[in-house]
Amino acid sequence: MIEKNVRKILSQLPEGVELVAATKKRSIDEILRAIDAGVKIVGENYVQEAERKYKVIGPRVKWHMIGHLQKNKVKKAVEIFDMIHTVDSFSLAQCISKACARIGKVMPILIEINIGRESQKAGVFPEDVQQLANSIVELPYVRLSGVMSMGPLVDNPEKIRYYFRNVRDIFNRLKSELVMVDYFKYLSLGMSDTYRIAVEEGANMVRIGTAIFGPRQ
Ligand SMILES: *Cc1c(COP(=O)(O)O)cnc(C)c1O
């Protein structure tokens, strides 16, 4: 089933849209099956869980951090991950840059936007994105590569379109101001219920768990 789901999703995604398999709480065996079917990027939410899986699966796939990153986990995180989707403060970006400097790595990062302006959620408010981006581009060992958003919880997936559009507008505005950095190009939006809408609204990276692995136990 996992294999079939991956093949189906990959065949439906337009060219240029990258699939990140959201693998939190999934077993190594399940993840390997997804990889066999064509998954190239694995997205993990917790550093410790990613570390345990990385020891077995290794660098045959790219590892993306899609969960909230605590500063005390950054040192470990920069060793494992190839991209961090969830940067929402300058101090976190700075911490990542410093940890990368020590191991001679430049980390692609995305700014997480709290597009629904929900107080309990991670991410920066839309009006603060520009300023954060301007300060991040000064850091030597991170590479501002795009933006990510979860979007608010909605009862009908169609209601998310408005929020995705707002994220895309912010993304496009930043992109036009950061023309000198050709690596600013990722718009990470959309999960199992919403990835089709996300792609219609310009996402080129979608993070999918349930539609690949089934409902979580
Ligand atoms: C779990 C998760 C996903 C995938 O959610 P599904 O609804 O299972 O597809 C995507 N993004 C993030 C940040 C997640 O934590």
Query: What is the Å distance from ligand 1's center to 20 Cα?
Result: 10
> What residue owns the CA closest to ligand 1's atom 11?
207
Lowest mean pLDDT among 18-32, 36-50, 128-142, 178-192: 178-192
State which ligand 1 atom lies nearest to the alpha carbon of 195: 9
**Cα angle 94, 72, 62; round to 5:** 75
Split at pLDDT 50, 70, 90, the class of 127 is very high
Residues 6 and 37: their CA atoms lie apart, in Å, by 6
Average confidence score pLDDT of the chain: 96
pLDDT mean over 116-125: 94
* pLDDT tens digits, 51-70: 999 999 999 999 999 999 99
Residue 180 reports pLDDT greater than 70: no
- Confidence band (pLDDT; 50, 70, 90) for 152? very high
In a mutational test of the pocket of ligand 1, which residue from 18, 64, 66 has the highest number of ligand atoms less than 8 Å from its CB?
66
Please give the pLDDT value at position 22. 98
**Pick from 171, 170, 208, 196: which is nearest to 186 by CA?**
171
Residue 206's pLDDT is 98
CA 67 – CA 212 distance, rounded (Å): 18
pLDDT at residue 106 is higher than 80: yes
Q: How far is the CA of 22 from the centre of ligand 1 (A)?
A: 6
Our mutation pick for probing the ligand 1 site, out of 191, 192, 213, counting the most ligand atoms within 8 A of Cβ, is 191
Average pLDDT over residues 96-111: 98
Contact 65, 44 (CB under 8 A): yes
Element (H, E) at 114: none
Q: Residue 180 Cα, ligand 1 centroid: separation in angstroms?
A: 32
Q: Which residues contact 213 (CB under 8 A, 6 or more apart)?
A: 2, 5, 23, 26, 30, 34
For residue 216, name the pLDDT band (cuts at 50, 70, 90): confident
Ligand 1 pocket at CB < 6 A? 22, 24, 45, 66-67, 150, 191-192, 207-211
Q: What is the mean pLDDT of residues 78-82?
A: 98
In angstroms, what is the span from residue 104 Cα to ligand 1's centroid? 30
Does the structure show a pLDDT above 80 at 178? Answer: no
Q: In a 10 Å sphere around its CB, with 0-12 CB exposed, 13-18 middle and 19+ buried, how is residue 152 labelled?
A: middle
Please give the number of the atom of ligand 1 that sits closest to the Cα of 85: 13
Ligand 1: centre distance to CA 179 (Å): 30
